[in-house]
Structures are given as structure tokens and as C-alpha cells.
Amino acid sequence: MATIGDVARIAGVSRSTASYALSGKRAISEEVRERVAAAVRELGYTPNAGARALATSQTMVIGLLAQFMEDEFAPAMLQYILGVSNTARELGYDILLVTEEDGTRALRRITDSRMVDGIVLLNVAEDDDRLPILRAASQPGALVGLPADCTGVDVFDLDFEEAGRLMVERLHRLGHRELILVSQPEHVVERGGAYVWRLQNAAVEQAQNRGITLHAVFGSSGQPEVGQQLHAMLDAHPEATGLLINNEAAAAALPTVLHSRGLTAPEDLSVIGRYSDEFARTFSLPFSSVESAPDRLGRMAVRQLVRRIEHSGAATEPHVVRFVSPEFVDRGSVASPRPTSPRHGGRP
């Protein structure tokens, strides 16, 4: 492989001149610039990334820590990863993807060895083990997900409280008076998935404020359990006219459940989910939803991270905690409840 020494020799200049000609960091005569460019072309020269990293202390790589938990719905993760990866590339960075079980060890490894210029943490728990390590690292970090303690990192998340309120408020305004909310599995909450109760608590509170009934339940993250739970909830609350879904697996299972009960949305039941548009397309979900914007969150996290990496002034700027407002995407599954409740349809 050609080195910058080869380029310099062929161009008839010193290595420093060749380097400057390529980086443009100092004035170079037109003639020399062209000789260097020709040599580069001739040799197919590309700088050695390791050598450059050693000399500049910049790797142009961002570490992406993603954990695939048993109790989380894997396809939903993919969109965050793609949002991060694509944005990073646009800004000139590559992605070191770490899916190791032991996130703390992995994080220490890639930061201590300086393989990366910054870190994006996905799947952040309320009290995340990885955060102390990230704070101690010399590279900046950006999170997707809200921990209890946000010091020292930039944080991006959906405004789950607002999402919970929005879901309840929409249905209340249309005249619904009894709702069911299916959340993520309780394991997720126990592990510290704060977003589950952030949405749920806000929904419960909003329901109280409006004087309506909300039955909240933790759903499973997989089939067939989650389908059975949906049936059970619908059996248990025949007067409920609205269904709120903060659980990807439940959303994916719902069409089959409704179908098998002979129910149609919104005629028999109004439904609002919380997932991304991409997710809705993949699973062809016909339900209106609160957009969870994984690509946008990934993009925001990377942009802020790169600002901190590149703009030395940004290192001292205060860290941000930024919430994306939930947007309601209308897919026609929400309407006023029919005057003659209760619902028809039962478990087949």
C-alpha cells in the first residue's frame, strides 16, 4: 500500500508538503498541488487511518452501543441504529457497532483504547451502569433515552409524558370515557426503562384530570403471550372504547386479535399506538399512532455528538436534554365511540 512518502517522492516534494497539499491546511502553489494530486491518483493513495488517528487523536469513528434484550422487540431497535449510522456517515464518521451483552465492559474497552471519538448510547436505562463509565471517559457521549441523572452527557428522547397525555386527550375529546393502555413488559420497567412509566403515569394522570377511566396493564414483548393479554384485557373491560398501545409487540399482534374478535377500528374500538411510521409500514399497522421518531432521535444525537467532538468550544457548553414532541399520525383508527356501547365481539 502506498504511503504519503511514496506520494511525496513521486511528486518530488517533501512529505510535509504532500500532507499539506492534501489537507489544504496551508498555502500550496498550484503547480505542487497538481503534482501531488497526480501522484495520489497514480498510486491510489489513501491515508492510513491508524497512523492518522495516532497523529491527530481523531479516529473519525463513533461508537454505537446497542443492546438487544430478550424482552424488547428487536425490529424497533434497527431504526435507531440506521438513523445513527446514516447521519454519522453524512458527517464523515464511521460506526463501531457494539452489541456485546456486557455494555459496561464494552464501553470501557472502546473508550480507553481510543477507538472512537464519541459514543452514542441506545436503550438507556433510568439508572444505567454505563453512564458512570461514559462520564469518566474522555470522549463525549450522547444518549437516546432519558436516565435519572443527565449530567455530563447530551440526552435525546421522545416526550413520553406528552405522548401519554396526547393519547388520552384525543380520545377524551371524542367522547371516550373508558380506555385501556397496554405498556411494555414490566421487566423493562424493572430494568429501568423509564419511558414506560413516563407515558403511563402521564396517561393515568390525564385520565384522572378528565374524570375518565384508564385501565393500565403491562404487556408481554412477544407472541403468543401478548396476543392473549390483549384478548384478556378486551374481555375484562367490555365497556372500554379506546385502546392505547405503548408496546411494539402488542401493536404488531393487534390486527390479528381484532380480526379474530370480529372487531374493527375505529367502528368498534378506537386505537392509538406509539411507534414509528417505518414500523407501521413494516408491520402494515392500520392504527393511528404517536410517532416515536427513532431516525430523528438518532440523527439529533449524532449531530450534537459531532458538534462536541469537532468544535472545541462545544466541550464546555452546557449539556442538553432535548425532548422530541410526539406527533399524531392519523391512520383513521380513531373516532367517537358508537352511542350503543358495549362493544360486540368476543374471543372466538
Q: Which residues contact 231 (CB under 8 A, 6 or more apart)?
A: 257, 261, 347
**Cβ-based nearer residue to a second copy, 145 or 227:** 227
Asked if 78 touches a second copy (CB under 8 A), the answer is yes
Asked if 232 touches a second copy (CB under 8 A), the answer is no
Asked if 54 touches DNA (CB under 7 A), the answer is yes
312 binds, among DNA, a second copy, none (CB under 5 to 8 A by kind): none
Q: How many CA atoms lie within 13 A of 23 on its CB side?
A: 12
Q: How many CA atoms lie within 13 A of 322 on its CB side?
A: 18
- Residue of the chain from 51, 97, 232, 321 that contacts DNA (CB under 7 A): 51
In the bound complex, what is the minimum distance in angstroms from residue 282's beta carbon to a second copy? 7
**How many positions of this chain bind DNA (CB under 7 A)?**
31
Asked if 70 touches a second copy (CB under 8 A), the answer is no
Q: Taking a C-beta distance cutoff of 8 angstroms, is the pair 176, 343 a contact?
A: no
Which residues, listed in sequence order, are joined to residue 141 by a DSSP beta bridge?
A: 119
- Residue of the chain from 13, 171, 252, 335 that contacts a second copy (CB under 8 A): 252
Q: Which residues contact 258 (CB under 8 A, 6 or more apart)?
A: 264, 265, 268, 269
In the bound complex, what is the minimum distance in angstroms from residue 104's beta carbon to DNA? 21
What are the CA-CA distances from residue 156 to residues 5, 246, 247, 251, 293 (Å)? 45, 19, 20, 24, 11
In the bound complex, what is the minimum distance in angstroms from residue 13's beta carbon to DNA? 4
Q: Taking a C-beta distance cutoff of 8 angstroms, is the pair 226, 249 a contact?
A: yes
In single-letter form, the type of residue at position 228 comes to: Q
Interface residues with DNA (CB under 7 A) are 1-5, 12-17, 19-20, 22-23, 25-29, 31-32, 45-48, 51-52, 54-56
Interface residues with a second copy (CB under 8 A) are 1, 44, 46-51, 53-54, 59, 61, 64, 68, 73-75, 77-78, 81-82, 85-86, 89, 94-100, 108-110, 112-115, 138, 222-224, 227, 252-253, 255-256, 259-260, 281-284
